[in-house]
Structure 1
Amino acid sequence: MNTHLLSKLQATAKPFAKFAASPNARPFSKSLVRFQSTATTADVKSTSTFIKNSHPTAPLSSFNYNLSRILGRKFNNFKKLTEILKVIEEIKAQNLKFDRNTYTALLTAYASTNRSKDVMTTLEKMEEQGIQPTLETYNLILQSYASEGSSIAQAGIVAEMEKKGIDMSESSYNSLIRALTKREELEHAFDIMDKMKENNIPMNIASYSNVIGICVRVSDSKTAFSLLKEALDKCLSVSSDPTMLFNVLCLAARKDEHEAVSFCWKKAVLENAMRPDEGICLDVIRVAGLSGDVKLATEVLQHLGENGYTYKEYYFAPLMEAFMNKGDLKSAFSVLDIMRASGITPSAQATLPIRNHLRNQIDKIDEAYFILEQLKKEDKSVDVTAFNVVLEACADAKDVERTVATYREAASLGVTPNVDTYNAVLIACINTRMRDMGKLVIVEMKKAGITPNTDTYTHMISLECTSREYENAFNYLEEMKSYGAIPPQMAYVALLRRLAQEADPRYLVAAEEMETFGYKVPYAIQQNWLKAKEQ
Structure 2
Amino acid sequence: MKRRGTQPDLDTYNFLLRSMAGNTRSVDAWAIFEDMKIYGVKPDVKTFNALIEAHQHRNSAYLWPIIRAMEEMGVEPNAATYGLIISYFASAKNIENALRYLYVMKSKGIEPELRTLQLVVEIAADSGNARLALDLVNAFESDSVRRLESDVWVNCLTASASCLWANASDFTQKDGVVQCWEYIVQELNLSPGEGICMGVLHTAARHGLPDIATDVLRVLNLTGVPLQERHFAPLIEAFCRAGQVKEAFMTIDIVQETTPPLPSTLLPILEHVKKNTDTFDSTWALMDEIHEERPLQVSSLNIIIGAAVALGDLQRAVGAYKSFPDYNVKADRDTFHLLLEGAVAACHQPLGARILQDMKEAGIALESRTYELMIELAIAQDSYEEAFEYLEEMKGAGFKPPATTYKSLVKKCASNGDPRYTIALEEMEEMGFETDPEFLRKAKDVFSKESTGMMFIEEAENTTVAR
Shared fold, TM over 0.5: yes
Larger CA deviation: 135-144 vs 486-495: 486-495
The answer on 1:318 being equivalent to 2:227 is: no
Any conservation in 2 of the 1:493–1:521 contact (CA below 8 Å)? Answer: no
Any conservation in 1 of the 2:237–2:268 contact (CA below 8 Å)? Answer: yes
Any conservation in 1 of the 2:403–2:428 contact (CA below 8 Å)? Answer: no
The answer on 1:285 being equivalent to 2:193 is: no
Using the alignment, how far apart are the partners of 1:252 and 1:531 within structure 2? 57
Match of 1:393 among 307, 329, 332: 307
* Alignment map for 1:214-363 (pairs within 5 Å): 214-216=123-125, 218-233=127-142, 234-240=144-150, 242=151, 244-259=152-167, 260-341=176-257, 343-363=258-278
| Offset from partner CA, 1:270-314 (integer Å, 9 cap, x none) | 433445443332222111012111111112222333334333323
Using the alignment, how far apart are the partners of 2:146 and 2:447 within structure 1? 76
Name 1:188's counterpart in structure 2: 97
Match of 2:30 among 120, 145, 148: 120
- Paired amino acid for 2:70: M
Match of 1:201 among 70, 92, 110: 110
| Offset from partner CA, 1:406-456 (integer Å, 9 cap, x none) | 111111122111111111111110111101100100001111111223332
Stretches of structure 1 lacking an aligned partner (at least 5 in a row): 1-59, 61-91
Name 1:141's counterpart in structure 2: 51
Larger CA deviation: 505-514 vs 322-331: 505-514
Larger CA deviation: 305-314 vs 290-299: 305-314
* Alignment map for 1:152-163 (pairs within 5 Å): 152-163=61-72
- Paired amino acid for 1:449: G
Any conservation in 1 of the 2:29–2:54 contact (CA below 8 Å)? Answer: no
* Alignment map for 1:31-110 (pairs within 5 Å): 99-100=12-13, 103-105=16-18, 107-108=20-21
| Offset from partner CA, 1:213-251 (integer Å, 9 cap, x none) | 4434554332222112223333544335x2x43443333
Larger CA deviation: 322-331 vs 121-130: 121-130
Using the alignment, how far apart are the partners of 1:358 and 1:524 within structure 2? 41
Using the alignment, how far apart are the partners of 1:237 and 1:526 within structure 2? 71
Measured after TM superposition, the shift of residue 256 of structure 1 is: 2.5
Measured after TM superposition, the shift of residue 123 of structure 1 is: 0.7
Using the alignment, how far apart are the partners of 2:411 and 2:187 within structure 1? 59
Which SS does the other structure have where 1:438 is aligned?
helix
Using the alignment, how far apart are the partners of 1:489 and 1:276 within structure 2? 47
- Paired amino acid for 1:159: R
Using the alignment, how far apart are the partners of 1:523 and 1:313 within structure 2? 44
Using the alignment, how far apart are the partners of 2:410 and 2:25 within structure 1? 68
The answer on 1:433 being equivalent to 2:347 is: yes
Name 2:284's counterpart in structure 1: 369
Which SS does the other structure have where 2:327 is aligned?
coil
Any conservation in 1 of the 2:18–2:50 contact (CA below 8 Å)? Answer: no
Larger CA deviation: 395-404 vs 231-240: 231-240
Any conservation in 1 of the 2:128–2:159 contact (CA below 8 Å)? Answer: yes
Any conservation in 2 of the 1:496–1:511 contact (CA below 8 Å)? Answer: no
Using the alignment, how far apart are the partners of 1:185 and 1:139 within structure 2? 20
Structure 2 vs 1, CA of residues 200 and 451 (structure 1 numbering), >3 Å: closer, same or farther?
Answer: same
Name 2:423's counterpart in structure 1: 506
Name 1:65's counterpart in structure 2: none
Using the alignment, how far apart are the partners of 1:95 and 1:534 within structure 2? 109
Match of 2:318 among 400, 404, 421: 404
Structure 2 vs 1, CA of residues 114 and 407 (structure 1 numbering), >3 Å: closer, same or farther?
Answer: farther
Stretches of structure 2 lacking an aligned partner (at least 5 in a row): 168-175, 450-467
Measured after TM superposition, the shift of residue 335 of structure 1 is: 0.4
Measured after TM superposition, the shift of residue 97 of structure 1 is: 8.9
Using the alignment, how far apart are the partners of 1:477 and 1:397 within structure 2? 29
Measured after TM superposition, the shift of residue 154 of structure 1 is: 2.5
Identical-pair percentage: 26
| Offset from partner CA, 1:125-153 (integer Å, 9 cap, x none) | 135456654433322222343344x3342
Measured after TM superposition, the shift of residue 105 of structure 1 is: 4.7
Using the alignment, how far apart are the partners of 2:148 and 2:403 within structure 1? 52
- Paired amino acid for 1:249: L
Number of equivalenced pairs:
434
- Paired amino acid for 2:53: Q
Match of 1:420 among 334, 359, 373: 334
Using the alignment, how far apart are the partners of 1:390 and 1:424 within structure 2? 10
Which SS does the other structure have where 1:258 is aligned?
coil
Using the alignment, how far apart are the partners of 1:459 and 1:138 within structure 2? 78
Using the alignment, how far apart are the partners of 1:479 and 1:440 within structure 2? 18
Using the alignment, how far apart are the partners of 2:182 and 2:340 within structure 1? 47
Length-normalised TM-score, structure 2? 0.82
Using the alignment, how far apart are the partners of 2:180 and 2:124 within structure 1? 16
Name 2:83's counterpart in structure 1: 174
Name 1:460's counterpart in structure 2: 374
Name 1:39's counterpart in structure 2: none
Structure 2 vs 1, CA of residues 126 and 388 (structure 1 numbering), >3 Å: closer, same or farther?
Answer: same
Please say which structure displays the higher CA radius of gyration: 1
Any conservation in 2 of the 1:360–1:396 contact (CA below 8 Å)? Answer: no
- Paired amino acid for 1:103: L
Using the alignment, how far apart are the partners of 1:104 and 1:529 within structure 2? 83
